[in-house]
Structure 1
Amino acid sequence: MKSKSILYLIAGFAMILTSCANSKPVQNVESPDGKIGVQFSMVEGQATYEVLFNGEKVINPSTLGFDFQNMPSIEKGWKIVDSQLSSSNSTWEMQWGEKRVVRDHYNELSLALEEQKAPNRKMNLVFKVYNDGLGFRYEFPEQEAMKEAIITDENTQFNLTGDHKVWWIPGDWDIYEHLYHTTSLTGIDALALRANDNLAQSYIPENAVNTPVTMKTAEGVYLSFHEANLTDYAGMTLKVNKEKLMLESELVGSDITGYKVKRAVPFNTPWRTIQISENAGGLIESDLIVNLNEPNKIGSVSYFKPMKYVGIWWDMHLGTKTWDYGASQDMNTATGLKPNGRHGATTEYAKELIDFASENNIGGILVEGWNTGWEHWIGFEDREGVFDFVTPYDDYDLKEVVRYGKEKGVELIMHHETSAAPRTYNQQMDTAYQLMNSLGIHSVKTGYVGKIIPKGEYHHGQWMVNNYRRAVETGAKYQVAVNAHEPIKATGLRRTYPNIISREGLRGQEFNAWASDGGNPPEHLSIVAFTRMLAGPIDYTPGIFNIKLTPYKPNNQVNTTLAQQLALYVVINSPIQMVPDLIENYKGNDAFQFIRDVAVTWETSKVLNGEIGDFVTIARKDRNSENWFVGSITDENARDMEFSLDFLTPGKKYKATLYLDGENAHWDKNPTEFKIVEMEVSSTSSLKYHLAEGGGAAISLIEL
């Protein structure tokens, strides 16, 4: 399957460069299809680039540079000493994910720069240009003039060509759990969101946005800005300059060190990425972010099986059960706690969930609140040493739950809530992961709720980026896959470490159960699909059937129809998908058949239609059969959908089962009304259906 060709002299470029052609002031590189062009130049000795799409500028001349604590800034006074063009065209295979085979096809411009005056520091810039966008990064080679870089600011500019329409969340240094806003660039006001009561750990120091941030130009070009391969570096937010219509990198800092990044030379920065498309769906289909990461370093992760899973997570958000075991009283037990009677992580309840999963083609169970420490996990200033990641509460027999699950064909997913005290987690990490390995537990959901300890570090700074990576590398050592909550952003590292399976990193389903602002509005996920999902898989927890949360949360609800909850299993990409509602809400409901049937890892995926914040329809082919699944969702507006099934295999017949909004369905007034329509279809067929306000459609196409 793998074929690779590297052409060091490329015909058709604006120039032919060799390692000796080092004096030309302007350098160009294009995408393989010629639609995207990057022009690089030195303007008064400062590195400057611009980007064209279909012959028109989409990024005006933008400068590149750094400020340091231990040396002069990199800005003016540099020159090109060497440049090379090359091309690569290869394929690689995802072990799980939205497609099996990924094409990695790009043209590359590599530039060696040198300071014109002593000490003559050296820096390389590398641009990789694909048909779906581009990435560029800084490389600091080994040199006498620079042994260590202490970066106080990275000054990467994205100089826009207009006051574009933007879908954004604020440049928060701790969380991504904000609603998306739709404004012009000049309408962005991140600082107005600093006082959100639901986000106590939030820290937004200035008017910046988190990435991915997606835009649409007046000419109808779609852009999304992000980063790839975030390794031993601070996460990047993008500062908004309204006067100049410009974004500029603003790295997440540390109040302890006073700098953003400290690295020994040599090192490379993450890739700064721009996805570019003529239509919104092209952003979702882009492979740019994963392609800009290194190949697999850890080998097969066949120990991880993509799956649907049940759990007790929703019980806690509804208030029917608790994470904690009880109150601090001397009961002469190992924990010294008196049971509160509502603890969710019991052996008995776990077995009930395992039975349900086994009967309904659900491969896993997640048990939260199983380990000691939950009585002091949140609301306490000093949370160091609170959690024990190997000791269960008295009412939870870990080994028995694992044994019973294996008997029923259901795997246990471990849960590690760190309470944002990563030093405690680091001390126990090897022991905890070794325990998982010894019990045959091959995936873990990690959590980092709260302000980071030590105070002054932030979730998205360099120190925490390295802590998140430590969990992934330890997981690889013990054959454990990691699903991180309260995470650092996804940047395509699942290619290099395929035991990175999913993560949160957005305003999730739980906000519908407890947020005082009305929860996630109907448009939320039709924005998420074109923003957060561009970074990588999402553990969103779709599938709530009790939309009004009756009788548990009379002031809250899920702001979609039931049919949309089904559609999200296809629209939202993840190799693990929770089946979160209380199991009694699924029993006897015909709509649950779609959840039984739907796959979670795919041979290929196609975006059939979509507009950001309005609607999207995605079709995905099961990796293990000829079956396809389709999901459509809409915002608060009703829509009629029609598309061809020409993606089906010609000559084959399929049974189409459509789970649709009912005639009177509405996300608020009548969210649970649905209907099921069955028909025989082929690649020459087309489908038409109606989406209610806040509605959706879930379609299974099963080969006959």
Structure 2
Amino acid sequence: MKMKPLFILSLCCLCLQAFGEEYTYRLASPDKNLEVNISVGQKITYSVRHKDRVLLNASPIGLVFLDRTLGADAKVIRKKESSFTEDIQSPHYRVPSFTVTYNELDLKMKGNYGVVFRAYNEGMAYRFYTTMKDSVIVEDEIASFNFPENYTSYMAYSTAGVKSDQYAMAFQNTYTVSTVKEAEADNIAFLPITLDCGDEVKMTLLESDLESYPGMFIEKGNGESCSLKATFARYPKALERFPPRAMTKVVERSDYIAKAAGKRNYPWRIWAVTEKDTEMPVNNLVYALASPNRIGDCSWIKTGKVAWEWWNDWGISGVGFKAGINMDTYKHYIDFAAENGIEFVVLDEGWYNPAKGDMLAVIPELNLEELVRYGKSKGVDLILWTVFNVLDEQLEEACRKYSAMGISGFKVDFLDRDDQTAVEMACRIAEMTAKYRLTLDLHGFYKPTGMNRTYPNVINYESVFGMEEMKWSTVDRDMMEYDVTMPYIRMMAGPVDYTPGAMRNAAKRDFKPIYHNPMSQGTRCHQLAAYVVHDSPLTMLADNPTIYRKEQECTDFIVGMPNKGIDETRILQGKLGEFIVTARRTGSAWYVGGMTDWTPRSVTLDFSFLGEGTYDVILFRDGINADRQAEDYVKEAFSVTSTSRKNIWLAPGGGFAMSVVKR
């Protein structure tokens, strides 16, 4: 990363006399389209204007300590105004590097604290910092959001239930679309959330650089006003272990949210502002605002595709052995991966006895060292599933053992919270696994907050309503709508381990949840498109080797679509909640994927994004009967240039995927 100070800004500082001394500061984005107005006096507030519209009315911020509130009766003792350009290296991200420019206002307050505001062309952010000698107890954080209109909101609510600890759940839910005033009064939503401000302008609330502090949730504001406010999990006071996975759960919470060092930075609170829906999936503010790489050399980090057994329930057939968690089954998955150039096989739950909570003891049915050797001989690495607290309790010993054995990384599951101790555990695990050159795929985990920049060995996150939900969800859980909503909102925070690749596909009328032989909602080509649409440096093939071999044409296409070495990502077309068309470039080759909700539609693909010359296209699109038989597809081959156009029909729940390779 290179940070280049450009010049000192001349910001507008207005001294006003009303109800005591109050100062107002104005901070504009480099392109002048975004303006943040900050007021400091009896309280600190900020508002956001985009072009000629106020998007956010004056909204108070603060930190509540035991003895005082930072932000109350605030007095600026120093202001620093700067402008920067940052060149950011982003390994295993949607682009290998990118540049951001921003203007910054640092307001140092009387009382050993301050607030930094930044205005980007893509949005704004602020964070508190403190410079105190002694540690503090943070009782709460003040962050209200007052809107000038009753915006339409897109929020994913806690699934814990109103009578449970709402802060403890897997961060997996579909989006509820309602006005701000209609937000659920008895539930909390996890980030990101999006507000539709009209005229295609949207605001998305995110956070970044979350360390040793609880994550932000959102709840309905007070009264009938158009407002929302932040809420945070209280600090765990007591935890207990629960079967069947020896998971630790919070059974009692304190009356404060964090124990904090006196000198520290607090997380960034971000409003990403987009003028078109196609800007949303490629907004980089969460990554840009995270702390830079702390692990140094990243050349050892390996990403790619994964043959995975849990979703398909070890569902191979036509073999001469009993399928299950045993040597023959895993060697079969390794053979399948090797045949198809798939880099990894995951050993999911069951390779150690989860009830005992000891991941150093492998079950007798498996010889893990032999499996590692077998995989290495065929160019396939192994990833081991485990539970967060189980790994944390044996952290260095487990990392040392399995790194020496040749394991590539861990798929860590069931954190299911983001209070301060959970966030500290995640950072502790990321640091230790990096020391032993192990990668992490984080499941049952809170939304990304930039940890993949700070610890690039974090190569994927769940925190998504992914394919596993199809094993137990009815068609009323509209996966097709979610699939064309999630990339716009959730992917702004970071990559997704959605686990696509179902080869059993169902039209809406035929879908049913089946745990052991699961199917997908929507068409075969919708599944293929996911391998392009999703930011996913580590991507599962969720179905079983038997069915993939029977569907070798689709399998070849899936493994041929790259999810590493991406040079460029563009969203060519789309509308939040309706459809999306994504293009990714590796070298001179392009890969394009599109998907729709349950509404059939035609899209006209304009190839003007191509360079000079002729390109050969392989297209998988919905067949004419895909609305009735969702596995129906057509494979086409043709050539195009940058002046070509192609009309493609998408069935209900449909999609398409293509490779575009320069001749």
TM-score higher than 0.5 here? Answer: yes
Q: Among residues 231, 248, 258, which one is paired with 2:229 in the alignment?
A: 248
Match for residue 184 of structure 2?
Answer: 189
CA offsets 1:118-172 (integer angstroms, 9 cap, x no match): xxx23201011111111100011135xxx23212211112211211111111154
Q: Please give the residue correspondences for 1:252-267 in structure 2 after superposition, counting only pairs within 5 Å.
A: 252-254=233-235, 255-267=252-264
Larger strand proportion, structure 1 or 2?
2
Q: Secondary structure at the match of 1:587?
A: helix
Q: Among residues 486, 500, 521, which one is paired with 2:444 in the alignment?
A: 486
The answer on whether the counterparts of 1:513 and 1:519 sit within 8 Å (CA) in structure 2 is no
Q: Among residues 610, 629, 633, which one is paired with 2:574 in the alignment?
A: 610
The structure-2 alpha-carbon separation of the partners of 1:401 and 1:240, relative to structure 1 and needing over 3 Å to count, comes to: same
The structure-2 alpha-carbon separation of the partners of 1:179 and 1:552, relative to structure 1 and needing over 3 Å to count, comes to: closer
Q: Secondary structure at the match of 2:425?
A: helix
The answer on whether the counterparts of 1:10 and 1:16 sit within 8 Å (CA) in structure 2 is no
CA offsets 1:491-516 (integer angstroms, 9 cap, x no match): 11211111111111122211101235
The structure-2 alpha-carbon separation of the partners of 1:656 and 1:141, relative to structure 1 and needing over 3 Å to count, comes to: same
Identity over the aligned pairs, expressed in percent?
27
Is 1:180 aligned with 2:161?
A: no
Residue 15 of structure 1 deviates from its aligned partner by 6.3
The answer on whether the counterparts of 1:468 and 1:487 sit within 8 Å (CA) in structure 2 is no
The answer on whether the counterparts of 1:633 and 1:696 sit within 8 Å (CA) in structure 2 is yes
Match for residue 131 of structure 2?
Answer: 141
Residue 371 of structure 1 deviates from its aligned partner by 3.1
The structure-2 alpha-carbon separation of the partners of 1:86 and 1:245, relative to structure 1 and needing over 3 Å to count, comes to: same
CA offsets 1:6-54 (integer angstroms, 9 cap, x no match): 134236x54699xxxxx981111111111111111124x2111111111
Q: Among residues 682, 687, 691, which one is paired with 2:646 in the alignment?
A: 687
The answer on whether the counterparts of 1:128 and 1:134 sit within 8 Å (CA) in structure 2 is yes
Is 1:652 aligned with 2:613?
A: yes
Q: Please give the residue correspondences for 1:170-319 in structure 2 after superposition, counting only pairs within 5 Å.
A: 170-171=157-158, 172-174=166-168, 175-189=170-184, 191=186, 207-241=187-221, 243-254=224-235, 255-316=252-313
The structure-2 alpha-carbon separation of the partners of 1:645 and 1:463, relative to structure 1 and needing over 3 Å to count, comes to: same
1:267 and 1:483 mapped to 2: Cα distance?
28
CA offsets 1:315-374 (integer angstroms, 9 cap, x no match): 338799xxxxxxxxxxxxxxxxxxxx9772211111111111111121110011353323
2:338 and 2:428 mapped to 1: Cα distance?
33
The answer on whether the counterparts of 2:291 and 2:454 sit within 8 Å (CA) in structure 1 is yes
The structure-2 alpha-carbon separation of the partners of 1:396 and 1:554, relative to structure 1 and needing over 3 Å to count, comes to: closer
The structure-2 alpha-carbon separation of the partners of 1:270 and 1:647, relative to structure 1 and needing over 3 Å to count, comes to: same
Q: Please give the residue correspondences for 1:408-487 in structure 2 after superposition, counting only pairs within 5 Å.
A: 408-418=378-388, 422=389, 424-448=390-414, 459-487=417-445
Is 1:83 aligned with 2:79?
A: yes
CA offsets 1:273-304 (integer angstroms, 9 cap, x no match): 00001011112111111110122111122222
Match for residue 554 of structure 2?
Answer: 591
What is the TM-score with the length of structure 2 in the denominator? 0.90
What is the TM-score with the length of structure 1 in the denominator? 0.85
The answer on whether the counterparts of 1:240 and 1:246 sit within 8 Å (CA) in structure 2 is yes
The answer on whether the counterparts of 2:313 and 2:516 sit within 8 Å (CA) in structure 1 is no
Is 1:160 aligned with 2:147?
A: yes
Q: Among residues 587, 601, 623, which one is paired with 1:639 in the alignment?
A: 601
Q: Among residues 109, 122, 125, which one is paired with 1:132 in the alignment?
A: 122
The answer on whether the counterparts of 2:203 and 2:271 sit within 8 Å (CA) in structure 1 is yes
The answer on whether the counterparts of 1:654 and 1:702 sit within 8 Å (CA) in structure 2 is yes
2:653 aligned partner, one-letter code: G
Residue 489 of structure 1 deviates from its aligned partner by 2.0
CA offsets 1:444-494 (integer angstroms, 9 cap, x no match): 101116xxxxxxxx7111011111111111111100111111112211121
The answer on whether the counterparts of 1:169 and 1:190 sit within 8 Å (CA) in structure 2 is no
2:638 and 2:407 mapped to 1: Cα distance?
41
Q: Secondary structure at the match of 1:531?
A: helix
2:143 and 2:349 mapped to 1: Cα distance?
43
2:310 and 2:171 mapped to 1: Cα distance?
20
* Residue segments in structure 2 that go unaligned for 5+ positions in a row: 16-20, 159-165, 236-251
CA offsets 1:88-119 (integer angstroms, 9 cap, x no match): 112122221210111121110110122xxxxx
The answer on whether the counterparts of 1:33 and 1:131 sit within 8 Å (CA) in structure 2 is yes
CA offsets 1:399-428 (integer angstroms, 9 cap, x no match): 11111111111111122135xxx2x43221
2:588 aligned partner, one-letter code: E
The structure-2 alpha-carbon separation of the partners of 1:363 and 1:48, relative to structure 1 and needing over 3 Å to count, comes to: same
Is 1:373 aligned with 2:358?
A: no
Match for residue 383 of structure 1?
Answer: none
Residue 220 of structure 1 deviates from its aligned partner by 2.7
1:559 aligned partner, one-letter code: Q
The answer on whether the counterparts of 1:512 and 1:518 sit within 8 Å (CA) in structure 2 is no
1:158 and 1:356 mapped to 2: Cα distance?
51
1:607 and 1:507 mapped to 2: Cα distance?
21
Match for residue 380 of structure 1?
Answer: none
2:639 and 2:491 mapped to 1: Cα distance?
32
Match for residue 29 of structure 1?
Answer: 27
Q: Among residues 353, 356, 377, which one is paired with 1:407 in the alignment?
A: 377
Is 1:151 aligned with 2:115?
A: no
Residue 552 of structure 1 deviates from its aligned partner by 5.8
The answer on whether the counterparts of 1:520 and 1:558 sit within 8 Å (CA) in structure 2 is no
The structure-2 alpha-carbon separation of the partners of 1:90 and 1:517, relative to structure 1 and needing over 3 Å to count, comes to: same
| Dislocated runs of 4+, deviation >3 Å | 13-17, 317-320, 516-520, 548-557
The structure-2 alpha-carbon separation of the partners of 1:217 and 1:342, relative to structure 1 and needing over 3 Å to count, comes to: farther
Residue 663 of structure 1 deviates from its aligned partner by 0.8
1:525 and 1:694 mapped to 2: Cα distance?
9
2:518 and 2:340 mapped to 1: Cα distance?
29
Match for residue 68 of structure 2?
Answer: 72
Residue 568 of structure 1 deviates from its aligned partner by 0.3
Q: Secondary structure at the match of 1:545?
A: coil
